[in-house]
Amino acid sequence: MINPDLPLIDLHRHLDGNIRAETIWELAQQNNITLPVKQFEQFIPHVQIIESEPDLLAFLKKLDWGVNVLSSLDDCKRIAFENVEDVFTAGIHYAELRFSPYYMSMAYKLPIADVVAAVIDGVNEGMKKYPVKIKLIGILSRTFGVEQCQQELNGLLAHKDKLIGIDLAGDEYNYPGELFTEHFKQVSDAGLHVTVHAGEAAGPASVWQAINDLKAERIGHGVKSYQDEALLEYMHKHNIAIESCLTSNYQTGTISDLSKHPITTFLKHGLRVCLNTDDPAVEGIELKGEFELARSLLGFTDTEITLLQENAIAAAFMSESERKTLRQSVLNNLNKG
């Protein structure tokens, strides 16, 4: 059981990887988009992982239908609002939702900057209705190449005051971080935080590069980091957090045996590792279930569960005053209950 005295936080949660199957189905009908099947029940395997996929790219294909039905800015706004509702329903107090505006715009060639604005509007409307705190992280989708990532970054930086950070995600193996150093110099100049998907499809060298060249403060997944003792020591010394996602790492084929997930190694080395969902709608999971998995499969104790929650608070892209306010609001609500 999670510690009720502490906020439940999800720092690695893809907004465009959490589009409800029902919403995809409805938007397809509304926008006259042909789907591969006639019945909704038959559609689920197309947008949700049923078993572990052979690799990361096969996993990512499950996300495609969700963005392929976004034919308007209103559609983008809708899914952003629903993401906030899902965070609230999941009992999460604070989430950093990340999204790739180019990925969301590509099917219907929507203006990238306008997609960013639509997501911001949807999230703000969601926060007016639901008592949760949301911050947004823009993604550069490396899968589409260097030039397209620059266009994506331009669209994100047009709204930089409404974002908390920038992430690099997608095909890590074929599009290494070295290709994007100039992009992240611009991110640094803009004063935004940096988190990078690394050590998922590639090895420790990818994590080193993200830290040294892209100035990553947090590493998404970072699974292969355990292979380099010096890297673990460096991350511990410099408080570089790992956003760990158990079910996702199994479903992408990154981990073949979840009972041997290196999150246990990260904790033993004192790393600031926290537990997250990744793409909850695609995976068919939620954050509380990931904590239950950590307890039942990895044998985590109450103390370790609490530590994961504390690490998430410490790793969140927020000020000390915001951390204090978040902690206090959880305690106040607990006392009211």
Catalytic residues: 200
Question: Which helix (H) or strand (E) is 34 found in, with range?
Answer: none
Beta bridge partners of 198: 221
Q: 3-state DSSP call for residue 165?
A: strand
Q: What is the DSSP letter of 288?
A: H
Structure tokens at 168: 């690099």
Structure tokens at 231: 């890297």
Cα within 13 Å of Cα(246), Cβ side: 25
The CA distance from 314 to 66, in Å, is 32
Q: 3-state DSSP call for residue 95?
A: strand
Structure tokens at 112: 């990238």
Beta bridge partners of 140: 168
**Quick check: 235 and 196 in contact, CB under 8 A?**
no
Q: Which residues contact 235 (CB under 8 A, 6 or more apart)?
A: 211, 219, 225, 242, 271, 272
CA angle 241, 281, 39 (to 5 degrees): 165
